[in-house]
Amino acid sequence: MRSVAVVGAGQAGIVLSAALLRAGWRVTLCSDLTAEQYLESGERPTACLFGDQVEYEAALGLDDFPDAPRADRIRLDLYTDDRLVALSVDAPLRKPALAVDQRLKFARGLRELAARGATVVTGSVTEGDLDSLAATHELVVVTVGRKTFGSLFARDPARSVHTSAQRTLFTVNVRGYDLDAHPRHRDIVFTFVPGVVEVFWVPFWDKDAGASRSIAVEAVPGGPADRFGAVTTASEGLAVLRGLVDEMLPGQASFLAPVRPTRETTWLKGAVVPAVREPVAVLPSGRHVLGLGDAVVLNDPIAAQGANNATRMARFFASRLGDYDGTAAWLRARFEEFWEVGRHANDFSEGMLVPMARHQRDVLVAASRHPEVGERLWEGFNDPSTLVPWFFDAAAAREFLARRGVGRWDVLRYRLGVAGTVLGRRVFRRPAPA
Ligand SMILES: Cc1cc2nc3c(=O)[nH]c(=O)nc-3n(C[C@H](O)[C@H](O)[C@H](O)COP(=O)(O)OP(=O)(O)OC[C@H]3O[C@@H](n4cnc5c(N)ncnc54)[C@H](O)[C@@H]3O)c2cc1C
């Protein structure tokens, strides 16, 4: 029987372990936290999964959350820097998205995998421990996320775009909102002030409160929305968020007014320095380990790709490892194969961090008038390879729009329409949609 040690019971580790158990491998799952400790832990990100990844988890029997709210649409409001909504895109997702509290998910995953025959070992694995795991297993896969083993997998300078964080982050989970008064919030809402802040309002299944909303803020460092640094509790963060919304996104103020945190300890702040690392590390003994998930491909969460990508990587490697020949070269070659498609998640994340190119603004303007264009745009969250080439290339974008009946003159007309809307809102101070 083939044997694998998976280090880290997070998104990549749970999914990979479930897939390899199903394929008949003997799995040792090493987790620094027990299921109970996961449930008691504090900070955890939003981690919204999109359609294909939701389906894959379901196919692996990891989807035991029947009451969790699914999102069928994304509604984007693009604000001007004087608090007006310039443009909205409201389009369906091809398949529902699902965001479940990772503490609950990973706690259940640990218990479920133990019940299916995995050997669960609790305790924080050190770099030194990896060697004894490698001596007793055919393969060791390190899926410890972004915070540990930072130097084990060498940074790949050719594939890493940044050396500093491009956003500061704040997340809080809330309940107490009124969906009848704010029906747009039944699905995912994005509210962006370009160059200043992106706020994501995501239907969420919280381990304490059940159906709730996870609000994730991405602020441009040093800008007027970068104000969560001194926050120490969920309530403090929510108060800062209310101030920010009043100043910059007034359309969301009434939604936010009645909410309260699901728990004082359920929130996070921080920043991510995106990086791509070598997928295989050679230990002092000469044995090697494979890295998956954030440990190797770490993106800013702006395009919600981290957990989706961890799932894609786990799925990809689970489908290939049956042919593993025990060499580092084989693992490196499979990573290159993965990267052919996987790199599009990085390009998409990078595309959302920088100011939009003109052709991307044209696509967005067209999407505000044609939901089918919006649907193709949103499909990028599920499968970023579908954005290629049209999201990244001006000529391809023109062709993409033309095939959907949107010509250059239409784009010009829509642009003038947006300018007229903004002017009208400036003159009449019409409230933005909530
Ligand atoms: C604010 C924010 C919002 C986000 N929103 C989204 C989103 O909407 N959609 C999305 O796809 N992604 C999102 N992400 C990213 C996503 O959460 C991560 O990319 C994803 O969880 C990575 O999966 P992973 O398996 O690599 O690591 P993790 O899920 O972090 O799992 C790693 C696990 O390893 C364990 N571990 C760590 N060290 C050790 C050790 N030494 N020994 C044993 N175990 C160890 C930890 O307990 C941890 O649970 C967000 C991230 C942030 C910061």
- Cβ of 123 closer than 6 Å to ligand 1, yes or no, is no
> What's the pLDDT band for 429 if we cut at 50, 70, 90?
low
Span from the CA of 105 to the centroid of ligand 1 (angstroms)? 12
Identify the pLDDT of residue 220.
98
Identify the pLDDT of residue 431.
53
Alpha helices in 23-77 (DSSP H): 35-40, 51-59
Enter the DSSP assignment of 277.
Answer: B
Residue 219 pLDDT more than 80? yes
> What does pLDDT average to over the chain?
95
Identify the pLDDT of residue 50.
98
Closest-lying ligand 1 atom to the alpha carbon of residue 145: 27
CATH of domain 70-96+164-266: 3.30.9.40
Identify the pLDDT of residue 428.
67
8 Å CB contact between 142 and 8:
yes
Closest-lying ligand 1 atom to the alpha carbon of residue 124: 42
pTM of the model: 0.96
- pLDDT exceeding 70 applies to what percent of the chain? 98
> What's the pLDDT band for 417 if we cut at 50, 70, 90?
confident
8 Å CB contact between 433 and 184:
yes
CA proximity to 307, closest of 108, 50, 24: 50
Identify the pLDDT of residue 413.
83
Determine the average pLDDT of the residues in 231-256. Answer: 97
Q: Domain map of the chain by residue range?
A: 3-64+100-162+273-350, 70-96+164-266
Determine the average pLDDT of the residues in 192-221. Answer: 97
> What is the C-alpha to C-alpha distance for residues 285 and 182, in angstroms, rounded to an integer?
59
CA proximity to 131, closest of 277, 7, 297: 7
CA atoms within 13 A on the CB side of 394: 5
Residue-wise pLDDT for 113-157, tens only, equals 999 999 999 999 999 999 999 999 999 999 999 987 878 999 999
> What's the pLDDT band for 182 if we cut at 50, 70, 90?
very high
Site to substitute for ligand 1 among 29, 32, 120, most atoms within 8 A of C-beta: 32
> What is the C-alpha to C-alpha distance for residues 6 and 17, in angstroms, rounded to an integer?
7
Residue 95 pLDDT more than 90? yes
8 Å CB contact between 5 and 144:
no
> What's the pLDDT band for 430 if we cut at 50, 70, 90?
low
Residue-wise pLDDT for 280-333, tens only, equals 999 999 999 999 999 999 999 999 999 999 999 999 999 999 999 999 999 999
Give me the DSSP letters along 97-164. EEEB-HHHHHHHHHHHHHHTT-EEEESPPPHHHHHHHHHHSSEEEE--TTTS-TTTSPB-TTT---SS
Residue 419 pLDDT more than 80? no
Span from the CA of 182 to the centroid of ligand 1 (angstroms)? 31
Alpha helices in 206-353 (DSSP H): 234-248, 253-256, 306-320, 328-353
Identify the pLDDT of residue 432.
54
Closest-lying ligand 1 atom to the alpha carbon of residue 309: 11
- Residue whose entry in the numeric block shows the structure tokens 């959350």: 65
> What is the C-alpha to C-alpha distance for residues 41 and 35, in angstroms, rounded to an integer?
10
Determine the average pLDDT of the residues in 59-64. Answer: 94
Which token pair is 10?
């997070």
Identify the pLDDT of residue 409.
83
Domain 3-64+100-162+273-350 fold is FAD/NAD(P)-binding domain (3.50.50)
Residue-wise pLDDT for 340-381, tens only, equals 999 999 999 999 999 999 999 999 999 999 999 999 999 999
Which token pair is 86?
């310039």
- Cβ of 219 closer than 6 Å to ligand 1, yes or no, is no
Closest Cα to atom 20 of ligand 1? 307
Which token pair is 44?
């955890």
- Cβ of 13 closer than 6 Å to ligand 1, yes or no, is yes
Beta-sheet pairing, 26-31 with 119-122: parallel
Span from the CA of 144 to the centroid of ligand 1 (angstroms)? 8
Identify the pLDDT of residue 384.
98
Identify the pLDDT of residue 410.
79
Identify the pLDDT of residue 64.
86
Phi, psi of 304 (to 5 degrees): 55, 45
- Cβ of 48 closer than 6 Å to ligand 1, yes or no, is yes
Sequence-separated (6 or more) residues with CB below 8 Å from residue 169: 216, 217, 218, 219, 228, 268, 269, 270, 271, 272, 301
Give me the DSSP letters along 189-228. EEEEETTTEEEEEEEEEETTTEEEEEEEEEE-TTSTT---
- Cβ of 310 closer than 6 Å to ligand 1, yes or no, is yes
- Cβ of 84 closer than 6 Å to ligand 1, yes or no, is no
Determine the average pLDDT of the residues in 17-23. Answer: 98
Span from the CA of 365 to the centroid of ligand 1 (angstroms)? 34
Site to substitute for ligand 1 among 294, 296, 381, most atoms within 8 A of C-beta: 294
Span from the CA of 147 to the centroid of ligand 1 (angstroms)? 9
